[in-house]
Structure 1
Amino acid sequence: MASREEVLELIESFKNLHPQHVVEKAQFEQRGMNFVVKYLAKNGGTTYTFELANVMGISTARVSNLINKLEQKGFVERKIAENDARKTILILTERGKEYHEEMEEKYFMMMSKMIDVIGKEEILQFIQTFGKMQTFFESHIDNQEKEDKHD
């Protein structure tokens, strides 16, 4: 089995290839709920709903839909901000913290298995190659947009 250091190194390498605009194309609802739980866990367990909307690049109405689902599952609670009744604070519950830990462990185990099956060096080579491809395509798109503006 891959060592913890190998898995953490691979996770960090993948994070560098996982920009927000790529993530947004994933299945919205499940990815969105997982994102909210992870965001809360990584940011002290609380945030404002408008902040989530900004970070996720979606409307507050869509954030509200996600929060409703997370509340139904018992992962979060809403609270009105004491200093401004127009603002809603989102709080990660104990059940939400447990869910986050389970998600992290499943992700860790999946990455560990991938290292065992494919091999760390081959995965790192793929990440490096994919990064070059991504940079190329982003540069090409930027250049194409600039050319289109001049036409």
Structure 2
Amino acid sequence: MNKNIVLNNKFFIVIALLEKTGNQIFSKFGLTVKTYAILVAINGGCTKSTELAKNIQGSKASVTQKTKWLEEEGLIYRKLDKKDKRIWYFYLTDKGKETIKMVVPDYEKAMNNLFEPFSKKEIGQMIKMFEIMEGRLHHAIKHNIFSKNKR
């Protein structure tokens, strides 16, 4: 079998396991991987729906659904743009900030355990490889490369 396909299959397994691990951690706090990712993105300055969708690699509809739930849970609030009434900005509530603080230790423990076997140099190499792959995938998606018929 082609080594790239074997590698890709390993990625699928690792991604699924990371999501499962994340959901185990975040479910203790009533969150999912995606809702936690939205909280972290908002905390990091991503405040518009379009920015959030791009940040978590989700659809605008999915972000709308998740931000609505996060707002109902009292973790975020929204404000309408004063100039453009079509734009909403999202912010963490005190409860949202506290939730992130409570999640971080468990999440860091899991990630430290995951990367413990690797040296700092190897982790740096992984980061660089993932950045390259991320860029290539964004380019391929933007230019519709994977769905073009190549017969």
The verdict on a shared fold, with TM-score over 0.5 as the criterion, is yes
The offset of 1:120, in angstroms, is: 4.4
| SS state at 1:47 partner | coil
The structure 2 residue matched to 1:31, chosen from 33, 50, 58, is: 33
Structure 2 residue 90 is the aligned partner of structure 1 residue 90: yes
RMSD: 4.2
Matched residue pairs, number? 116
The offset of 1:38, in angstroms, is: 0.6
Structure 1 gaps, min length 5:
1-17
Per-residue CA deviations over 1:13-59 (Å, capped at 9, x if unaligned) read: xxxxx9xxx69x9479812101100101122xx61122212333433
Q: Contact 2:48–2:88 at 8 Å: present in 1 too? A: yes
**Structure 2 Cα separation of the partners of residues 105 and 76 of structure 1:** 21
**Structure 1 Cα separation of the partners of residues 75 and 109 of structure 2:** 23
Higher RCO, Cα 8 Å, sep 6+? 1
CA change 1:59–1:112 in 2 (3 A) is closer
TM-score (norm 2): 0.56
CA change 1:112–1:60 in 2 (3 A) is closer
Tell me the residue number matched to 1:42: 44
Tell me the residue number matched to 1:100: 100
State the identity as a percent: 20
**Structure 2 Cα separation of the partners of residues 63 and 114 of structure 1:** 28
CA change 1:86–1:42 in 2 (3 A) is same
Structure 2 gaps, min length 5:
1-10, 24-30, 141-145
Looking at secondary structure, tell me which structure has more helix per residue: 1
